[in-house]
Amino acid sequence: MSTPSPALRSDLQARGRSRTDYLTKPGTLAIVRPAGGADVDVAAADPETLEPFVVVEADGTVTAFNGHVDLGTGIRTALAQIVAEELDLGFARVAMVLGDTALTPDQGPTIASETIQITAPALRSAAAQARHFLLARAAERLGADVSELCVDDGVVSRRPATTGDSAGQAGAQSRGDNRYLTYGDLIGDDVIRLALAENVPVKPVEQHRIVGRSQPRVDLPHKATGGLVYVHDMRVPGMLHGRVVRPPYAGVDAGDFVGSSLIGVNERSIAHIPGIVAVVVQGDFIGIVAEREEQADAALRALAVKWKPTPTLPDLSDLASAITKNPSTPRVLLDQGDVDSALENVAVRAPRTYTWPYHMHGSIGPSCALADVSDGRVTAWSGTQNPIPLRNDLARLLDMPVEAVEIVRMEASGCYGRNCADDVTADAALLSKAVGRPVRVQLTRDQEHLWEPKGAGQVMTVDGGLDADGRIVAYDFQTRYPSNVCHTLPLLLTGKVPPTPVVAQMGDRTAIGPYDYENKRVVCHDMAPIVRASWLRGVSALPNSFAHECWIDEMAEEAGVDPVEYRLRYLKDSRAIDLVNQLAERAEWEPHVGPRKREDEAGILRGRGFAYALYVHSKFPGYGSAWAAWVADVAVNKHTGEVSLTKVSVGQDSGLMINPDGVRHQIQGNVIQSTSRVLKEEVTFSDIAVASREWGSYPLLTFPELPPIDVMMVPRPNEPPLGVGESASVPSAAAIANAIYDATGVRFREPPFTPDRVLAALRAAGVSPQADAPALAPPPAVTTTKSRKKVLMPLIAAALGAIGSLGVTTLPWRSAIPPIAPPDPSVFSAATIARGEQLAKLGACFVCHTAKDGAPLAGGLAIDTPFGTIWSTNITPDPDTGLGRWSYPAFVRAMREGLHRDGRHLYPAFPYTSYAKSSDADLQALYAFLMSVPPVRNSVPEPAFGFPFKLRPLMAVWNTMFHDATPFAPDPTKSETWNRGAYLAEGLGHCSACHTPRNAMGAEETGAAHFSGGEAEGWHAPALTSKNPAPLAWDETALYDYLRTGWSSEHGVAAGPMAPIVAELKVFPDADIRAMAHYIASYTDAPPRETIAAQAKTLEEKAAARLHITTETAGGRLFAGACAVCHEQGRGPALFGVKPSLALATAVHAETPDTLLRVMLEGISVPDLDALGAMPSFLHHLDDGQLAALARYVRARFAPDLPAWTGLEATAATIRAHAVPQGRPAEAVTASTEP
């Protein structure tokens, strides 16, 4: 268990100390407030009923308490600055405790940029009050007047007299007195408790030394070095790991099916996973507790759960209509003048609708929490934004008194509103209560995406108009905002809280707008949620301002006035006017009317847009935080529809800035995040649930897209400090939309402004040329391979006829070879055994004869064949269930003729048809090896073949028809290398077993069909001839690389059943690998190396030239977010492992998409091949539609000359049904540890 970072001696160190500890310790001065505003004598009251604000201890430590938490904005640093300033202490002396329900004051949730504006004044006051108290004491002891004293880092002395009249100046000073007292001296052993007073004088701004100066953040040294800071890092002894299984109605939390959709959980489905401690089911809540995290994770994916069907959602692809149809109640916020009459008399009437999409908070770290429910108490370590409400929720969920619950707030991934932090804390509490041990629950990426309460969509309609003079005379603004108050999820899932929708009144933020129009009506239509939602940075103010600020821009053009000048006509607030003027000047705003459509020769259109907002938040009518304005410069590519921000100039008036660097970071962060939201982000939905489950389907702004940002901070040190956490986001969307309009003359009223949406509108408006051939046009149909069964039927019939004519009675039954006593392995030389082991690997004996989780070579692996399932046999020397009683002749007969020791015929899933070619010496070595491995007792099932294949004697006929048992004979016309390669590849290597097609009777086809492609475990085994579908021919070099390392830069990574084969070949010398490569290359008809290299270059260049289609399509954007990090050549970081080029990949050039889709669903894990890296499975993160879009894009981008695939979505669904994610996590917990 790691220890807390020492300098963050705050939240965690505070833990373990109660209010009583803080408030009764001798040598403390505490400023407190009676909880709940009770009127009590704080000196006599129970300390637990007192909320401390500032505690000064005699040892010089100062601890300050705030109910609000640091959501990653650096508020901890700013609050400490305020306390240090008012106490005249060095900044480093102050520790902050934030949001610990056992200690900190109840100041409500950390929302609406309120901390500095609303909660900090009390803290400032408390610190000032402590200072006044200490100064008064010092004055008494020093026999001086308070006004004669000064404080320097907690040391009080008489102010030096100066020759001039201004105090504190350096220079000609004389010390009036050399006596001093520290705060510690002044407190002594006393226990001093003072009630937080009102109207305490605070230091004037001119005397500030710490506030108003940039202060490095206290948390970063620890965050940058791996200290214990985040809730994700919290560990306690005895801790278990939990995962939750969420219902299929992902992201929907209202409706009678919520909490009552579970039919059943089949716990046996995870019986194979070790370490499971409990499966906890309560209503629709399902949790799994395990000893290890990856065990819980594997169980989450493996647990079989049955749910009732989920009701469908309204069609959210037409959001404006879905929101408008959602039942609502109008609430008039303002009705000024006579809007209706004014509307009737306007010269220009301009009704407009603006639509805002659902957004995600998008925390980079999925939520996590740790809870310990024991001895009737709950301690929960949480990243919550709302410690006090969460405390109540946990008490309700667990049926425990609120006083028994403590929330220890720790830092978490930034949330910008409410993410799943509360949900996961409740999950952890439920699971800990169930198992009686501390449980840490980590949500997965898909769960955070699916279930985080979304930033709600919104529809704003404006009806208004101008008079003949171009004045705005009517403004009728209506806003529709689906509610955002969501319950902590486990309360709903367990049925503790009924799933009735809550209608909140939160659509009204900044709904009034800043412009003073004569006739103005503002109505908010309050409505129930459509999907689970909560506040997200800027809440409803950002969409409302989008509408206000776009509409006034549109009207400026109607009126023939510059948009900035037009705004100023209607702004009455002097600070707003100053800000707008100053920013316009700084950004060198060029007054203009209407769109300028400045275009360069490359078809790039450039424009500028302006927007302004005073973010008015909190319960209506609310109050303003910082003022903000934007000038956005955009470049729009008319050929691709791409919009890039070339510059953002942003101005903000924040009042007094406590930590100016912190304010600047907030402004920049708001600019970047809101740019991302406006240009790229939109939650997508299936017909029942949220569909975006990873970053490909919900892309964020990346570094190369970052615009230059010019920040103008208006100095207002004498004005009260204002919240800065959200303001700079609010003008974003309108400024960008206004800039795009200036560039193109096309008005966009619904973000995100993605290339496909922009291009479609530009084409519709005639700005962009019509596409010659759309990048991803519907393809001509491809004939898909006919179903195997149909093709094979006639053959099967013919073969059966042949067998029938032979007559069953004439079928030979071969004699048994007598059993022997198991040979003593010591009779074999070590060298022979070692050689045998190598050959066993060439023969892939381990691959087929070792079951998942089973002992090596003990058999039991199920192999699906077209004729039924067969289980590999036990080939360890166990006398009863393995080969123990097999003599060498019996072994050789099996290897050459396909016969069991007892005379039964074996099926050719065992490739004796190839093994027969092995030399006696090699078979002897192989026998020696198999007889020397540890015997394992393991019986395997009989093959589950249907008639006629279950008749083993028929195999005699089969052998007669298809098997040639002659050992390998070298071809004297070929080289020694070729012959060696042929021996290895055609014998024990049995390449043809998978790479050659089989006839209806399951026999390899011969002649030209040899190596012409087959099937292995449901994977297509490509041809090893010139028919190979790879865009580049396989020559000896490529084959050697691939067989040696599992990777060829011209082809890719050995995946599927080929990966273990290559891994087994590791033990073979280079010469043998080279020989196999040489032999196989004799079939591929490859051109010279230089030609292949040139072809590769051409293919790469072609793919690079089509990079643009990445941003233009949803499939391309998925690729950019999910795949490009490892597959886009020439982009991104150098990463451990290989970077397979899709322009060269066989799967991308194959006739069918099956292999590509399968790899996406299952991933690739090659743990036995070194330094290749791994590809994760996207089974749980991409749905069939997303996979189809991705595959369509990949084909169009990387194999543009081949016909597009069809039926992708259906194929994806079929492959998904049988997909088994490779490598991890399930296998991680079940694979046996190596001996």
Partner 1 sequence: MPRTTVNGEVHELALPRATPLLSVLRNDLGLNGPKFGCGLGECGSCTVLVDGVAARACVLTLADVENHSVVTLEGLGTPEKPHPVQAAFIATAGAQCGYCLNGMIMTTAALIAANPNPTEDEVRETLRYNLCRCGSHVEILAAVRLAIEWSHR
Binding to partner 1 (CB under 8 A) within 630-689 occurs at 661, 665, 668-673, 676
CB neighbours of 654 closer than 8 A, spacing ≥ 6? Answer: 626, 663, 713, 714, 716, 721, 722, 724, 727
Q: How far is the CB of 1122 from partner 1 (least distance, A)?
A: 6
* Nearest-angstrom CA–CA distance, 693 and 1010: 44
Q: Which of 47, 67, 362, 1022 binds partner 1 (CB under 8 A)?
A: 362
Euclidean distance between CA atoms 480 and 461, whole angstroms: 9
Token pair belonging to 501: 């929708």
| Phi and psi at residue 945, to the nearest 5° | -100, 150
Residue closer to partner 1 (CB basis): 242 or 696: 696
Binding positions for partner 1, 703-742, rule CB under 8 A: 703-704, 706, 709
Q: Which amino acid appears at position 489 of this protein?
A: L
Nearer to partner 1, 412 or 1058 (CB): 412
Pick 31 or 95: Cβ nearer partner 1? 95
Query: Which one, 6 or 376, has the nearer CB to partner 1?
Result: 6
Q: Which of residues 410-439 bind partner 1 (CB under 8 A)?
A: 411-414, 416
Shortest Å, Cβ 887 to partner 1: 36
Closest CA to 462 of 517, 502, 505: 517
Number of residues that bind partner 1 (CB under 8 A): 96
Least distance to partner 1, CB of residue 660, Å: 12
Helices within 590-731 (DSSP H only): 660-680
276-305 positions binding partner 1, by CB under 8 A: 292-294
Site string for partner 1, 758-797 (x = CB under 8 A): ----------------------------------------
Residue 220 C-beta: closest distance to partner 1, Å: 5
Q: Choose, by CB under 8 A, the member of 1181, 1192, 1195, 1216 that binds partner 1.
A: 1181
Q: Give burial (CB, 10 Å; 0-12/13-18/19+) of 619.
A: exposed
Residue 628: CB minimum distance to partner 1, A = 14
Residue among 72 and 465 whose Cβ is closer to partner 1: 72
Contacts to partner 1 from residues 1001-1030, by CB under 8 A? none
Secondary structure letter of residue 515 according to DSSP = B
Nearer to partner 1, 130 or 1156 (CB): 1156
Site track for partner 1 across 892-911, x = CB under 8 A = --------------------
Q: Please give the Cα distance from 1144 to 1097 (Å, whole number).
A: 10
Compare residues 862 and 1135 and give the one whose CB is closer to partner 1. Answer: 1135
Report how far residue 232's alpha carbon sits from residue 689's, in angstroms, rounded to the nearest whole number: 28
In the range 51-110, which residues lie near partner 1 by CB under 8 A? Answer: 71-74
Helix (H) or strand (E) holding 392: helix 387-398
Nearer to partner 1, 525 or 537 (CB): 537
Beta strands in 846-931 (DSSP E): 862-865, 868-871
Considering the complex, state which of residue 52 and residue 1046 has its C-beta at the smaller distance from partner 1.
Answer: 1046
Strands 458-466 and 868-871: unpaired
CB of 712 to partner 1, least distance (A): 15
Closer CB to partner 1, 396 or 445, in the complex: 445
Residue 1014 host element (H or E): strand 1014-1016
Distance CA 226, CA 1063 (A): 36
Cβ-based nearer residue to partner 1, 226 or 866 = 226
Smallest gap, in angstroms, from Cβ of residue 223 to partner 1?
A: 4
**What's the min distance (Å) between Cβ of 920 and partner 1?**
36
The owner of tokens 């010019």 is: 710
Task: Find the DSSP H helices in 192-291.
Answer: 220-223
Nearer to partner 1, 11 or 1035 (CB): 11
Considering only residues 32 to 51 of the shown chain, the ones binding partner 1 according to CB under 8 A are none
Q: How far is the CB of 241 from partner 1 (least distance, A)?
A: 8
Shortest separation between residue 675's beta carbon and partner 1, angstroms = 8
Residues 1201-1230, interacting with partner 1 (CB under 8 A):
1223-1225, 1227-1230
By CB under 8 A, what part of segment 365-404 binds partner 1? 365-366, 368
Asked if residues 643 and 753 have their Cβ atoms less than 8 Å apart, the reply is yes
CA 1125 to each of CA 326, 1120, 1190: distance values in angstroms, whole numbers, following the listed order: 41, 8, 15
Which of 125, 129, 444, 727 is in the footprint of partner 1 by CB under 8 A?
444
Question: At closest approach, how far in Å is the CB of 228 from partner 1?
Answer: 6
**Residues numbered 987-1006 forming contacts with partner 1, rule: CB under 8 A:** none
The reply on whether position 236 binds partner 1 by CB under 8 A is no
We find the least distance from the C-beta atom of residue 180 to partner 1, in angstroms, to be 32
Question: Would you say 224 or 332 has its CB closer to partner 1?
Answer: 224
* Residue placing its CB nearer to partner 1 in the complex, 1150 or 1164: 1164
Residues 1095-1154 that bind partner 1 (CB under 8 A): 1121-1122, 1124-1126, 1131-1137
Selected from 99, 1176, 1185, 1221, the binder of partner 1 by CB under 8 A is 1176
Closer to partner 1 by Cβ: residue 885 or 1181: 1181
Residue closer to partner 1, measured from CB, 825 or 1167: 1167
Q: How far is the CB of 861 from partner 1 (least distance, A)?
A: 17
Phi, psi of 652, deg, nearest 5 = -145, 140
Of 442, 478, 510, 640, the residue at the interface with partner 1 (CB under 8 A) is 442
264 φ, ψ to 5°? Answer: -175, 160
* End-to-end C-alpha distance for the chain, whole angstroms: 29
CB of 1178 vs partner 1, minimal distance in Å? 7
Listing DSSP states for 1016-1056 in one string gives: ETTEEE--SSTT--SSS---HHHHHHHHHHSEETTTEE--T
Give Cα separations from 597 to 230, 631, 737, 739 (angstroms). 49, 17, 14, 10
Distance CA 1066, CA 823 (A): 29
Cβ nearer to partner 1, comparing 324 with 668: 668
Q: Helix/strand/coil (H, E, C) string of 36-99?
A: HHCCCCCCCCCHHHEEEEEEEECCCCEEEEECCCCCCCCHHHHHHHHHHHHHCCCHHHEEEEEC
- The rounded distance, in Å, linking the Cα atoms of 151 and 159 is 8
Residues between 1 and 20 with contacts to partner 1, criterion CB under 8 A? 1-2, 5, 7
Annotate each residue in 242-281 with x if it binds partner 1 (CB under 8 A) or - if it does not, as one string. Answer: ----------------------------------------
Among residues 449, 554, 451, the alpha carbon closest in space to that of 493 is found at 451
Instruction: Provide the angle, in degrees to the nearest 10, between the axes of the packed helices 1184-1198 and 1208-1218.
Output: 120
Rounded distance, CA 79 to CA 115, Å?
A: 9
In the bound state with partner 1, the residue whose beta carbon lies nearer, of 179 and 445, is 445
Minimum separation from the CB atom of position 700 to partner 1 (A):
5
Write down the least CB distance from residue 435 to partner 1, Å.
18
**Angle at 303 (CA atoms; ends 299, 308), nearest 5 degrees:** 145
DSSP per position, 110-125: S-TT-IIIIIHHHHHH
Give, as ranges, the residues between 203 and 232 that touch partner 1 (CB under 8 A).
216-217, 219-230, 232
Query: Which of 236, 364, 764, 830 contacts partner 1 by CB under 8 A?
Result: 364
